[in-house]
């Protein structure tokens, strides 16, 4: 029976979810989803049914790639938000066919930079992506710190700070708009942002994050997407310490603090300070790119 690859926009969401759940069965963590959660993730992460694809063997959905495209500084950047092939069909070239179709779609869309992440231990996936022309550009850590903690900062230098929205950060000349997709401002839906200024009013640092509350209004989780200082500032560490103290408060609250996909080498100061505070990696990934 011939393999057929369709755009997700040509499929039902039930077919797409069946392909996703089969493709990620036995994965490194439970990636099982429902139609509602599948659609929420498509919308929340800016993924496109038109650019995403589903593989069929006959009428059976057996593989999937979820894709999205964003524009940063006039550069079209694509993200592969998950490639899965049902276990019974692995090792038959279907993953390669899905990736070839994905890259052809990127070319049609005028994409200049293709990006993705892969679990660091998933050598089969990494090898496939490398054969497709992707290169590892950094290691990523998904960091977490739970519960009330002693204040890690003590006294810190105070700065002038402006409260704003994540989109405003995207206009800063040192905003890291090519950092991993899930850390970009568009992924910080309903988020808050802080911009630090010096005594002359120049922008010297930023952070954006989202606080999550339960149905009773209790603060349960804070997600930090990016926290950066101007690269030319000698007091960059002080700026980041100040921002972290503003985002997370005194650390005395019984909440979960999450920092997704921190690039170890592309954001070294932020990564180092988070580890000093006590954040621990929950997931280790590699960050991969391909120049189209």
pLDDT the model gives residue 1: 59
pLDDT at 219: 93
d(CA 250, CA 246): 8
User: pTM above 0.85?
Assistant: yes
pLDDT recorded at residue 151: 86
Q: Which domains does the chain have, with CATH numbers?
A: 3-111 (3.40.630.30), 143-285 (3.40.630.30)
Q: Could you list the mean pLDDT of each consecutive 10-residue stretch along the chain, which spans 292 residues?
A: 90 95 84 93 94 95 96 96 93 94 97 97 95 98 94 88 97 97 95 96 98 93 98 96 93 93 97 96 97 95
- pLDDT number for residue 5: 96
């Amino acid at each position: 029976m011939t393999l057929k690859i369709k755009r997700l926009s040509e499929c039902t969401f039930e077919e797409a979810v069946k392909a996703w759940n089969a493709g990620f069965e036995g994965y490194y963590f439970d990636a099982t989803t429902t139609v509602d959660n599948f659609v929420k993730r498509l919308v929340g992460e800016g993924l496109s049914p038109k650019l995403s694809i589903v593989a069929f063997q006959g009428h059976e959905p057996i593989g999937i790639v979820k894709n999205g495209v964003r524009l940063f500084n006039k550069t079209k950047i694509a993200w592969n938000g998950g490639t899965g092939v049902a276990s019974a069909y692995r090792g038959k070239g279907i993953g390669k066919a899905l990736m070839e179709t994905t890259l052809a779609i990127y070319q049609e869309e005028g994409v200049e930079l293709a990006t993705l992440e892969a679990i660091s231990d998933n050598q089969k996936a990494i090898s496939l992506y490398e054969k497709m022309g992707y290169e590892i550009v950094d290691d990523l850590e998904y960091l977490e710190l739970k519960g009330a903690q002693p204040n890690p900062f003590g006294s810190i230098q105070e700065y002038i700070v402006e409260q704003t929205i994540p989109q405003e950060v995207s206009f800063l000349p040192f905003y890291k708009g090519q950092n991993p997709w899930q850390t970009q401002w568009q992924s910080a839906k309903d988020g808050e942002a802080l911009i630090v200024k010096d005594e002359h009013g120049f922008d010297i640092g930023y952070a954006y994050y989202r606080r999550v509350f339960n149905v009773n209004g209790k603060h349960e989780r804070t997600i930090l997407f990016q926290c950066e200082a101007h690269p030319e500032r000698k007091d960059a560490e002080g700026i980041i310490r100040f921002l972290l103290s503003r985002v997370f408060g005194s650390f005395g609250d019984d909440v979960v603090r999450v920092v997704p996909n921190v690039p170890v080498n592309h954001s070294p100061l932020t990564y180092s300070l988070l580890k000093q505070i006590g954040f621990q990696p929950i997931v280790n990934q590699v960050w991969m790119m391909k120049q189209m």
